Structure 1
Amino acid sequence: MSGQVKAKSPKAHTIHICAGGGCISAGEISVKEALENEIKNHNVQDKVDIVETGCFGSCSLGPLMVIYPEGVFYQKLKPSDAKEIVEEHLLKGRVVQRLLYKGPSGEIKPRATEEIPFFTRQVRIATRNLGVIDPASIDEYIAKDGYFALRKALSMTPEMVIEEIKKSGLRGRGGAGFP
């Protein structure tokens, strides 16, 4: 993913599967379970890591995953896709074309996080650790300086906090420019 640190793994493949709210509500848990079952059925557990990440931000494309080291982005996944992903992509090295992102004019983008404006125009700040830390682990978050800003804000007056936010130019994640 553009501008992101990718989790290091001694295994042949690392799968980042979005476990954000949108992907969970679209069936991420079932997709992950099906993927784990297929990996086990093909006895390749020692070659593949599955990492649940926080939200990628493209909820309408979920459930979604990125498979490294290739960086291939699969979207709108269903549990029934797991077998084909394991057999074709993980075992044979062939990208599953039908699960790739298709742009407005129908062009296929296998590395969507590096090829479509939704991702390439982002400067990841709050989500810079996507795929690096477990989003459910407060200890991993703190180890990556999580809550540093909170610690600073607690030592400030409310007026100082407001002024700091105004100076930062910080806007809502949705890009609508809400202060």
Structure 2
Amino acid sequence: MSHRLPVALVTAPLALALAGCNTVADLPGQRIGSATLTLANGQPAGSAQIVAAGSRVTLAVGLTGIAPGAHGIHLHTVGACNGPDFASAGGHLNPLGRHHGSLAADGKHEGDLPNVVIQSGGSGALTADLSGTPEEVRAWLFDTDGASIVVHADPDDYKTDPSGNSGARIACGVIKPA
């Protein structure tokens, strides 16, 4: 049985990343990586794109098949998504050794992202800038064990170290280089 994502779901994250561009110079010039996310039962859950424009790096994610509401979403240290709990993805990507959350005094983990809001129909999208340069982000994501993107059952509280109290891991995708 084939599990193909709708074209709109695959292209929506890139369109969101492009929406913030004000001039042609702001358009992403480099595709850094991408991921296809799946739920614990193996069903497709969405896609993510990481693109760069100059020194700015943007992550754009489109999700489907997830319960409505706010969900924590993070970049994780290991490029493995073994279900059903996705524990194989490791902890949050934190190459600079910071505390968790945007409310942390010393800055957040590189893997900390804003919550993604899933609408009543079960789909949602998120676009967020990453704090590193394109070269730093590539080094952080594509080290010897790779990286992944994980969606959690509950919203991130932006302060509880190390995980934001965001609950179980419900979807995961290994980030692959472009």
The two structures have a TM-score, normalised by structure 1, of 0.29
Q: Which has the higher strand share?
A: 2
The two structures have a TM-score, normalised by structure 2, of 0.29
Query: Larger relative contact order (C-alpha < 8 A, sep ≥ 6)?
Result: 2
Q: Which structure has the larger Rg?
A: 1
